[in-house]
Amino acid sequence: MFVKRYQDAKPYEAANHREVKGLRLQGFEKGGPTNQWVGMSHFLPGGGAGPDSTPFEKVYIVIEGEMTVIVNGQETVLKKFDSCTIPANEVREIVNRTNHVCVMMVVIPYPPGYQHE
């Protein structure tokens, strides 16, 4: 078992994100998961990401607040404990349209070619 305490989570910058602070909870470390990593993002009001896509799927889980997910012009509001899967290469945009911080977890496979320690 590999335990990582929240106090030891390191911040990371995600491309094409705005008004957000991300913490890597698991992944990219010796003894951690071998096929994916887990992040927690704190999106300020008005914060978000995209529109863009990645060559791998990802899972979003809202822990606090609300997040609007936009795919093909269709908007879906995720609320506390709602989740969604974004397939590989699907263009999406996410926007926190509330006046509260949205805390969201993301589970993403390692990038192609990444060699786990």
Q: How confident is the model at residue 117 (pLDDT cuts 50, 70, 90)?
A: low
Can you give the CATH number for the domain in which 34 is found?
Answer: 2.60.120.10
Domain boundaries, position 31? 9-109
pLDDT one-digit tens code per residue, 3-53: 999 999 999 999 999 999 999 999 999 999 999 999 999 999 999 999 999
Structural domains counted in the chain: 1
Asked if residue 50 belongs to a domain, the reply is yes
Joined tokens for residue 95: 């926007």
Asked if residue 1 belongs to a domain, the reply is no
Average pLDDT, the chain: 95
Asked if residue 117 belongs to a domain, the reply is no
Asked if residue 70 belongs to a domain, the reply is yes
Query: Which residues are CB-neighbours of 107 under 8 A, at least 6 positions away?
Result: 36, 37, 38, 58, 59, 61
Residue predicted with more confidence, 80 or 113: 80
